[in-house]
Each structure stands twice: as structure tokens, then as C-alpha cells.
Amino acid sequence: MIRNHPSCGGWIEVVCGPMFSGKSEELIRRLRRAEIAGQRVLIAKAQIDDRYDISHVVSHSGHRIRAVGVEDPASIERFSEGCDVVGIDEIQFFDPSVVETCVALADRGLRVIAAGLDTDFRAEPFGPMPELLARAEIVDKLQAVCHRCGGAATRTQRLVNGLPAPFSGDTIQVGALDAYEARCRGCFEPGEDVLRARDPHRVTAHS
Ligand SMILES: [Zn+2]
């Protein structure tokens, strides 16, 4: 793919997709190349995500890069003083003001690379992502491999005790004992509460 970055000023690029689509890996790849070019790089991640290691962004394949854990978007702006490039992992976990933060950084001439889930386990747009995607110059939607059919997966399926999680469940359950799978549109299963709302007379083996 031929891609031209703006030749002056900053910009926002977003790497999104479902779980297991390689978002963190792609973020790390881009940030490493910037570091190799001698650019000053800040890597921030939402403090809520304690997966693997609090001070690193770690991909499922084990690639890692040191990162600052931040609790709010304002901290990203503070830490980015003197940087050329700011990478933000798991950006969907931040409150909506993170979009203004990204815009402010890009307006100041920084390259902002944000990675995160575009949709939650209900296949609904995740937190700040719709606005961020609209304001970004460059967007990459990565695909995973569907756990069911092996096709291109674009959704994150949450399973609780092996069954599709109810729509009414909490969006963020870090460290919970849920299982997640990447699924395609055809294999994605909505929760029992969604199916029952569609068909009140629905009878299942569990009811
Ligand atoms: Zn599938």
C-alpha cells in the first residue's frame, strides 16, 4: 500500500480492530521505526489495563516496548512535552476527552498513533473510537482470524461460562475470567438478552 504522510504539521493515525488482530504489534512496529529514525517517542497506555506488564505495551505475540501508564488524557499531554511521536495503546479505555488530546497534540505538530478496539463485545462502537476515527488522517482496520470458521474476524466475542455474554454486562472487565474470541459477522453471537428482546417467545435449553 502506498501511503503519504503529511509533509508538514502533525497528524493522527489509528490502528483498530477486534482482539487478536495484532493492533499492539502494529503500534510497536511503527513506534520502533520512529525511534530508529532518532525521533523522540512517548508511549502511553491506559492504567486500567494491567495485562502482562504495567510499564510496557506488550503484544499477544510477546513483542514489548516500554510505556507510561496514565490514568487520564491530560497526563498524556503533560508527558508528551518535547516528543515528536506519541503512541497510545488501548485508547478505547480513555474517556471521550482523549480525542481532544489527540487533536491538540497533532495541532502542535506531533504524530499521534492510537491503537484500540473499534467495537466492544456487543459489536457496538467503543467509547471515544467513533469520534477519533472521524478526526484521524489515517485509519487501519485490522482483521483477526475467526475462531469459528477461519474467515476474517472483525468482532470480539465475549463468552461467560462458554455462552455469549449478555448485552447488559459491563463493557470493561479487566482481569475477569471471561474468554474472548475473534469472530466474523456471521459467527458473532449476541447475548441471550438480545435474542430474547428480538423474540419474546424464544425458548432455550437454559430457560
Ligand atoms: Zn466466522
Query: Which CATH number fits the domain that encloses residue 67?
Result: 3.40.50.300
Count of residues in the chain: 207
The parent domain of residue 129 ranges over: 11-142
Single-letter amino acid code for the residue at 4? N
What is the count of structural domains for the chain? 1
Residue 58 lies in a domain: yes
Residue 154 lies in a domain: no
Residues with CB under 5 A from ligand 1 (ion): 146, 148-149, 151, 184, 187
Question: Which residue among 13, 25, 77, 90 is the active-site one?
Answer: 90
- Which set of grid coordinates corresponds to residue 197? 428482546
Per-residue pLDDT, averaged over 20-28, amounts to 95
Q: pTM for the full model?
A: 0.87
pLDDT at 35: 93
**184 CA to centre of ligand 1 in angstroms:** 4
Burial of 103 by CB count in 10 Å (0-12 exposed, 13-18 middle, 19+ buried)?
middle
Residue 1 lies in a domain: no
Residue 107 lies in a domain: yes
Q: Confidence class of residue 188 from pLDDT cuts 50, 70 and 90?
A: very high
**167 CA to centre of ligand 1 in angstroms:** 20
Burial of 47 by CB count in 10 Å (0-12 exposed, 13-18 middle, 19+ buried)?
middle
pLDDT at 203: 77
Residues 157/182, Cβ–Cβ less than 8 Å: yes
Determine how many CB atoms are found less than 10 A away from the CB of residue 63. Answer: 16
pLDDT at 207: 47
Residue 2 lies in a domain: no
| Cα dihedral 76, 77, 79, 85 sign | positive
Residue 188 lies in a domain: no
pLDDT at 65 over 90: no
**152 CA to centre of ligand 1 in angstroms:** 7
Q: Is 90 a catalytic residue?
A: yes
Q: Produce one character per residue of 135-172: b if its CB has 16 or more CB atoms within 10 Å, e if not.
A: ebeeebebbbebbbeeeebbbbbbebeeebbbbebeee
Q: Confidence class of residue 155 from pLDDT cuts 50, 70 and 90?
A: very high
Q: Confidence class of residue 68 from pLDDT cuts 50, 70 and 90?
A: confident
Determine how many CB atoms are found less than 10 A away from the CB of residue 73. Answer: 23
Residue 157 lies in a domain: no
Residue 5 lies in a domain: no
DSSP string, 39-70: --EEEEEETT--SS-TTEEE-TTS-EEE-EEE
